Chain A
Amino acid sequence: MECVFGLVGNGFAIVVADTSAVHSILVHKSNEDKIMVLDSHKLIAASGEPGDRVHFTEYIQKNVALYQFRNGIPLTTAAAANFTRGELATALRKNPYSVNILMAGYDKEIGPSLYYIDYIATLHKVDKGAFGYGSYFSLSMMDRHFHSGMSLEEAIDLVDKCIIEIRSRLVVAPPNFVIKIVDKDGAREYAWRESIKDASVVSA
């Protein structure tokens, strides 16, 4: 089951996602990146139906880029989150997307922010959020250890605590996770937490 979670720290926001691409009982690959870099200072961590997830997040990414081309300035995180919610809400009663989203971003005046957008387009600004069966463990760990204005070391420590909890307590726990961060220097990949490495392709 897909695990996505995230939290806001002191001047940064972190999102973590598992990296398993699963189809029924088969694991297609264990290094699927589910956190898309939306623009220089935004990340979108998505979980749900794989086709919808890729299609919808790419659609949002391209529209955010289009806004920047047309208007010369990038969207704020709040505006991008509201746009995403609008697209999900419009599609909800026609052709719904089964994608849950955690959008993390950094704006110069506002600082870091994290938005929880579930698949039926409920939008809420949060300090910590999670989706999937893993959320039962990661939200509880974060409720216990999170405080506002955490440093990067403390936040990564908390992320690792959550990953350990998911790995030990979730029956079909995903083996690998990717951690991405967004702060004043931009959105980038921070680290991977792998317990199973994909076998490299054997050359003939």
Chain B
Amino acid sequence: MSIFEYNGSALIAMVGKNCFAIASDRRLGVQLQTIATDFQRIYKIHDKVFLGLSGLGTDAQTLYQRLVFRHKLYQLREERDMKPETFASLVSALLYEKRFGPYFCQPVIAGLGDEDKPFICTMDSIGAKELAKDFVVAGTASESLYGACEAMFKPDMEPEELFEIVSQALLSSVDRDCLSGWGGHVYVVTPTEVRERILKGRMD
């Protein structure tokens, strides 16, 4: 089994009208065994930048700690928060530093940039950025997620509709993947508020 499939994960980020949604599954497993059903994969870097980390759990935790450290230093020096584009470049650089001994993670970054324009991107485990205008996916269920998102996505969705679409895409994809699932965790972020919701799907 691949090292990326050791813990199991599923992540989506999708762009709406002046908002974005980022969602993950909640399973933490060790190959075939489920250890926990409340594992957190999405982290808030600051009010307008969210980071999702799929792949190996230990590397996701280590990478998150390093990124929070770098962001806090940035905040101290620049006296402001990082823009999502800048944060994505930081993640990419940190990952490429370990080019010949990489972190086994695939990050998904979502944020509101200048003038609250939604920004999403994903990258592979060595930092190759993939910017998208509509949606990005990562994790063991990524192939199903691509299909579901492509079918359900519409441009310029309002936050409520975006939440529905992201939830349906996530749940239907993780139901076809034995390594991810056990519910969902969805954040819908607009310039004024962040709504966090837990989904209950097939608990298997």
Q: Which residues of A have CB within 8 Å of B39? A: 124
Query: Residues of B contacting A129 with CB < 8 Å?
Result: 35
Q: Are A122 and B33 touching (Cβ within 8 A)?
A: no
From known contacts A122-B7, A124-B28, infer whether A89 and B35 are also in contact, taking CB-CB under 8 Å. no
B35/A126 in contact, CB under 8 A: yes
Q: CA of A129 to CA of B35 in the docked complex: distance in angstroms?
A: 7
Q: How large is the interface on A (under 10, 10 to 19, 20 to 34, 35 or more residues)?
A: 10 to 19
Q: Which of B56-64, B78-86, B145-153 contacts A (4 or more CB under 8 A)?
A: B56-64
Q: Among A16-24, A113-121, A184-192, which stretch is in contact with chain B? A: A113-121
**Closest CB in chain B relative to A84 CB, distance in Å:** 12
Inter-chain contacts of B62 with A (CB < 8 A): 89, 121
**In the complex, are the beta carbons of A93 and B36 less than 8 A apart?**
no
Residue in chain A with minimal CB distance to B6: A120
Say whether, besides A124-B35, A124-B36, A126-B36, A118 and B30 are in contact (CB < 8 Å): yes
Sorting the interface of chain B by its residue count into under 10, 10 to 19, 20 to 34 or 35 or more gives 10 to 19
Top 3 A-B pairs ranked by shortest CB distance? A122-B57, A121-B58, A122-B58
For residue A92, CB closer than 8 A to chain B, the reply is yes
Question: Nearest Cβ distance between residue B107 and chain A, in whole angstroms?
Answer: 17
Within the complex, the shortest CB–CB distance from A191 to chain B, in Å, comes to 27
**A–B pairs, 25, beta carbons within 8 Å:** A89-B58, A89-B61, A89-B62, A92-B58, A93-B101, A116-B35, A118-B30, A118-B58, A120-B56, A120-B58, A121-B58, A121-B61, A122-B7, A122-B57, A122-B58, A122-B61, A123-B61, A124-B28, A124-B35, A124-B39, A124-B57, A126-B35, A126-B36, A135-B33, A136-B33
CB 8 Å contact bits of B108-123 with A (1 = contact, 0 = none): 0000000000000000
Inside 8 A of B30's CB, which chain A residues have their CB? 118
Which chain B residues (25-74) contact chain A, with CB distance < 8 Å? Answer: 28, 30, 33, 35-36, 39, 56-58, 61-62
Bound CA–CA A85/B39 (angstroms):
16
In the complex, A124 Cα to B35 Cα: how many Å? 9
Per-position 1/0 for B177-198, Cβ under 8 A of A: 0000000000000000000000
Chain A: which residue is nearest B32 at the CB level? A136
Chain A nearest Cβ from B183, distance in angstroms: 15
Shortest Cβ distance from residue B62 to the other chain A in the assembled complex, whole angstroms: 5
For A76-105 the 0/1 string (1 means CB < 8 A from B) is 000000000100010011000000000000
Chain B positions within 8 Å of A120 at CB level: 56, 58
| Cα A110 to Cα B21 with chains together (Å) | 33
| Cβ–Cβ < 8 Å partners of A89 in chain B | 58, 61-62
In this complex, what residue of B is CB-closest to A120? B58
Contact partner of A85 among B7, B35, B61, B101, CB < 8 A?
B61
Cα distance, A164 to B133, chains bound together (Å): 56
Bound CA span A93–B101, Å: 8
Cβ–Cβ < 8 Å partners of A139 in chain B: 33
Given the complex of chains A and B, what is the CA–CA distance between A139 and B37 in angstroms?
13
With both beta carbons as reference points, the residue of chain B lying nearest to A129 in the complex is identified as B35
Task: Identify which of A92, A118, A129, A136 gathers the most chain B CB atoms within 10 Å of its CB.
Answer: A118
Q: Are A122 and B28 in contact (CB under 8 A)?
A: yes
Most buried by B among A124, A126, A129: A124
A118 to B58, CA, bound (A): 9
Q: Which of B7, B56, B58, B61 has the most CB of A within 10 A?
A: B58
